[in-house]
Amino acid sequence: MKNLFKLFSIIILIITSNSNSFAAEKVEYLKTDWSFKGLFGKFDRASLQRGYQVYTEVCASCHSMKYLSYRNLAEPGGPEFSEAQAKAIAASFEVTDGPNSDGEMFTRPGKLSDKFVMPYDNVKAAQAANGGAYPPDMSVLVKARGGGVDYIYSLLQGYEEAPSNVSLDDGVYYNKYMYGKKIRMAAPLSDGLVEYGDGTNATVEQMSKDVTTFLMWSAEPHLESRHQMGFKAIVYLIILTVLVYFSMKRIWSRVESEV
């Protein structure tokens, strides 16, 4: 056991000393309190609804969310718009459907069962409209980035004037949180860009937090039930483990050996 401890302390020492040297090169992400972290973490409904507004008014002009449907907006554990609201949101989009009985494609107002309408028909069209860069689909974006929500939250606020020693091509911007510090997306947010229905002041920081919360939900729509079930499961397992432990002690007391 002693050896084991020695070993672990050595390994932890190596790992921490290394990660420290990494941290020196890496920028620390901005921190904020996420309501969905922790054992009982839940989404802030109002923040999710505001986040959807930011997504749909700002991000959605370039970024798709192809794995989400409008019905998701009204489902428990999400922004929880009322069904009428979600229907109205869906109906505000034009969806291409068909072919009809004449063999023609047609457009109609969106329904709850429709997937989020995509800003571009395909990847090539998206690239053509964005100087060759493809705006990634945002459905699982926070899970697809190493820093997760903290990274996205920081990136949205990480735009700065480029230092004098960095030269930027046309259509390339400086962002201190981006890998390589260069990004093809112009700063998407500015104070007061959206007008929140609930009167919240739409600062860049507030919008970043709201839209990142929304993206966390879109990537993990069952996060709340996962946390709730997890707590129950682990409490159940702990109680059962204790009971089994005492049964084991009892059974093993019949033989002169330790467990």
R_g of the chain computed on alpha carbons:
25
Closest of 112, 111, 110, 115 to residue 67, by C-alpha: 115
Nearer to another protein, 42 or 190 (CB): 42
140 scored as a contact of another protein (CB under 8 A): yes
244 scored as a contact of another protein (CB under 8 A): yes
Which residues, other chains included, contact 194 with Cβ-Cβ below 8 Å and sequence gap of 6+?
53, 54, 57, 58, 202, 207
233 scored as a contact of another protein (CB under 8 A): yes
Residues 164-203 that bind another protein (CB under 8 A): 179
Nearer to another protein, 108 or 143 (CB): 143
Nearer to another protein, 181 or 205 (CB): 181
Among residues 24, 39, 84, 186, the one that binds another protein under rule CB under 8 A: 39
Question: Pairing between strand 94-97 and 182-183?
Answer: unpaired
Nearer to another protein, 55 or 207 (CB): 55
Segment contacting another protein by CB under 8 A, of 99-107, 168-176, 182-190, 249-257: 249-257
* CA distances in angstroms from 107 to 48, 98, 104, 121, 240, listed in the order given: 29, 8, 10, 14, 57
40 scored as a contact of another protein (CB under 8 A): no
Nearer to another protein, 148 or 202 (CB): 148
Over the window 49 to 68, marking each residue x when it contacts another protein by CB under 8 A and - when it does not, the resulting string is ------------------x-
CB of 189 to another protein, least distance (A): 23
Among residues 44, 219, 224, 253, the one that binds another protein under rule CB under 8 A: 219
118 scored as a contact of another protein (CB under 8 A): no
Closest of 251, 185, 225, 256 to residue 43, by C-alpha: 225
Which residues, other chains included, contact 119 with Cβ-Cβ below 8 Å and sequence gap of 6+?
60, 61, 62, 63, 64, 126, 135
Nearer to another protein, 80 or 205 (CB): 80
84 scored as a contact of another protein (CB under 8 A): no
146 scored as a contact of another protein (CB under 8 A): yes
Segment contacting another protein by CB under 8 A, of 11-19, 52-60, 106-114, 165-173: 11-19
Measured CA to CA, the distance from residue 6 to residue 12 in angstroms comes to: 10
Measured CA to CA, the distance from residue 195 to residue 54 in angstroms comes to: 9
